[in-house]
C-alpha cells in the first residue's frame, strides 16, 4: 500500500538504526507522546533493536487512557438514564469507572451504542427524535474537528435531542507539565504525527526553546519512528533544542487551518483533569458558552461528580515517563486486558496493553 508498505521496509529500518548507533555517544531518554506510536514500537520490536543508550518512555497520548475517572463516571450516570441513547467509540465501553463500565450499563438495560464517528451519532439523533442522544467526545486535537463539526451540524439541522460529553485534551500543555515536573526524565520528544497533521507544529518551538529539548514530529510506521528517533538523537548529540518534522508526507508547519478554525469556533481552552496525572491548566477544550444547549454535562446536571483513582494503578506515572508497565505490581496479575484495573490496560493505544500483548516482562 503506497505511503505505508515502503515505511515497513525492514532493510531501510536497519539502515536508520545503524545511523542511530553511529551517532550516539551517551544515554538519552526519549518519550513518544502517542499511544499509537507506543504500540508500533513494541509490536515491531523497535525498543529491543535500538542501542542500549536509548531509553524510550511512553507518553500520555492515549485519549482513552487519560480521560478522567470523573468523566467516565459522568458518562455512566448519563448512560444509565432511561430515555438516553449513549454513543461512544468502542474502546471507551471497557474503561473502568469507579464502580462499573459502559458495558455493564448496557448489560443492565442501558442503551449504549458503539459508533465510528460523531456523524453516526447525529444520524441516530435524527432517527430517534423522542430520545436524548449523547456522544462521548473524547480525544486529542486529532478528533476535535469532527466532534466540533457534529455540534455545528446539530445546530444547523435544528436537532434538539443531541448533545456531547466533551473530554478533549491537548498535547502542548501535557508536554509542558511533564518537562516542568521536578521528577522529569524526558530529554527529547517524538511528537504525534496525526495531532500535528491537524495543528501543525508551530506550537512546539516555544516549548523546545523554554525547556531546551528537541521535539520531532514522527509518524507511526517502523521507518517513520526510526527516522524520528534518529533525528531526535542527532539534535540531542548536537545540543540543539528545536522542533522539526520527520513526517513530511502528512504534516506541515501550519497544519490544517480550516480544521483549526472549526475547533476555534466551537471549543475554548479550559483546565482538564488527566486520569492518573491530575489537573493540567489549559490542557483541555470545552464547548463555548453559545453551545451550552449541546453540552451534556449541563443538560444532565452531572457537573459535580468527584471520583477517587484506584491506589493500585500506576498508569499516571507510566504516562509521565517515570515508570514502565512492568514496574506495576498488578501487571499481568490481576490486571490483564480481560480484567483491566486501569485504562492503559484497556485501550488499543495503552502502554500496559502493548507490553502485555507483545510479551514484554
**Binding interface with ligand SF4 (CB under 6 A):** 312-315, 318, 325, 328, 330-331, 335, 340-342, 344-345, 352
Q: Which residue is nearest to ligand SF4 (CB)?
A: 342
Cβ proximity of 120 and 87 under 8 Å? yes
* Smallest separation (angstroms) from ligand SF4 to the CB of 69: 12
Long-range contacts of 158-161 (CB under 8 A, 24+ apart): 159/122, 159/125, 159/126, 160/293, 161/125, 161/128, 161/129, 161/130, 161/131, 161/132, 161/133
How far is it between the farthest Cα atoms of the chain?
A: 66
DSSP notation for 121-137:
HHHHHHH-TTSEEEEEE
Q: Kindly report the CA angle at 273 between 217 and 278, in degrees rounded to 5?
A: 90
Q: Which is nearer to ligand SF4, 18 or 329 (CB)?
A: 329
Question: CA 199 to CA 194: how far, in whole Å?
Answer: 9
* Smallest separation (angstroms) from ligand SF4 to the CB of 76: 19
Q: Which is nearer to ligand SF4, 20 or 353 (CB)?
A: 353
Long-range contacts of 48-52 (CB under 8 A, 24+ apart): 49/17, 50/17, 50/20, 50/229, 51/20, 51/21, 51/24
* Smallest separation (angstroms) from ligand SF4 to the CB of 28: 25
Q: Which is nearer to ligand SF4, 195 or 318 (CB)?
A: 318
Give how far the C-alpha of residue 26 lies from the chain's centroid of Cα atoms, to the nearest Å.
30
Q: Which is nearer to ligand SF4, 85 or 351 (CB)?
A: 351
* Smallest separation (angstroms) from ligand SF4 to the CB of 65: 8
* Smallest separation (angstroms) from ligand SF4 to the CB of 346: 8
* Smallest separation (angstroms) from ligand SF4 to the CB of 126: 38
Q: Which is nearer to ligand SF4, 139 or 325 (CB)?
A: 325
* Smallest separation (angstroms) from ligand SF4 to the CB of 350: 7
Q: Which is nearer to ligand SF4, 197 or 318 (CB)?
A: 318
DSSP notation for 216-267:
EEE-SSHHHHHHHHHHHHHHHHHT---EEES-TTT--SS--HHHHHHHHHHE
Q: Which is nearer to ligand SF4, 178 or 241 (CB)?
A: 178
Amino acid at each position: 500500500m503506497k505511503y505505508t508498505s515502503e515505511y515497513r521496509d525492514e532493510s531501510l529500518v536497519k539502515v536508520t538504526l545503524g545511523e542511530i548507533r553511529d551517532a550516539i555517544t551517551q544515554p538519552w531518554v526519549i518519550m513518544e507522546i502517542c499511544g499509537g506510536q507506543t504500540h508500533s514500537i513494541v509490536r515491531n520490536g523497535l525498543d529491543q533493536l535500538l542501542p542500549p543508550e536509548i531509553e524510550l518512555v511512553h507518553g500520555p497520548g492515549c485519549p482513552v487512557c487519560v480521560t478522567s475517572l470523573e468523566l467516565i463516571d459522568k458518562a455512566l450516570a448519563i448512560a444509565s438514564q432511561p430515555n438516553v441513547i449513549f454513543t461512544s467509540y468502542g474502546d471507551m465501553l471497557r474503561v473502568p469507572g469507579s464502580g462499573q463500565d459502559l458495558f455493564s450499563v448496557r448489560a443492565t438495560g442501558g442503551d449504549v451504542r458503539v459508533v465510528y464517528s460523531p456523524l453516526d451519532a447525529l444520524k441516530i439523533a435524527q432517527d430517534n427524535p423522542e430520545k436524548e442522544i449523547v456522544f462521548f467526545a473524547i480525544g486529542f486535537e486529532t478528533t476535535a474537528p469532527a466532534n466540533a463539526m457534529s455540534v455545528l451540524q446539530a445546530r444547523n439541522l435544528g436537532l434538539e435531542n443531541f448533545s456531547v460529553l466533551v473530554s478533549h485534551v491537548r498535547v502542548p500543555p501535557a508536554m509542558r507539565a511533564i518537562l516542568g515536573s521536578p521528577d522529569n526524565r524526558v530529554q527529547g520528544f517524538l511528537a504525534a504525527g496525526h495531532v500535528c497533521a491537524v495543528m501543525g507544529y508551530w506550537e512546539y518551538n516555544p516549548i523546545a526553546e523554554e525547556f531546551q529539548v528537541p521535539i520531532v514530529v514522527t509518524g507511526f510506521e517502523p521507518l517513520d519512528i526510526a527516522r524520528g528517533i534518529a533525528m531526535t538523537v542527532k539534535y540531542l548529540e548536537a545540543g540543539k533544542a528545536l522542533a522539526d518534522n520527520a513526517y513530511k508526507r502528512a504534516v506541515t508547519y501550519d497544519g490544517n487551518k480550516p480544521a483549526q478554525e472549526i475547533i476555534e469556533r466551537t471549543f475554548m481552552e479550559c483546565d482538564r483533569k488527566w486520569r492518573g496525572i491530575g489537573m493540567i491548566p489549559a490542557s483541555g477544550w470545552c464547548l463555548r458558552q453559545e453551545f451550552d444547549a449541546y453540552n451534556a454535562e449541563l443538560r444532565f446536571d452531572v457537573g459535580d461528580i468527584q471520583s477517587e483513582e484506584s491506589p493500585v494503578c500506576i498508569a499516571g506515572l507510566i504516562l509521565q515517563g517515570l515508570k514502565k508497565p512492568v514496574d506495576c505490581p498488578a501487571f499481568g496479575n490481576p490486571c490483564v486486558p480481560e480484567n483491566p484495573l486501569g485504562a492503559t490496560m484497556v485501550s488499543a493505544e495503552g502502554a500496559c496493553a502493548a507490553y502485555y500483548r507483545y510479551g514484554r516482562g
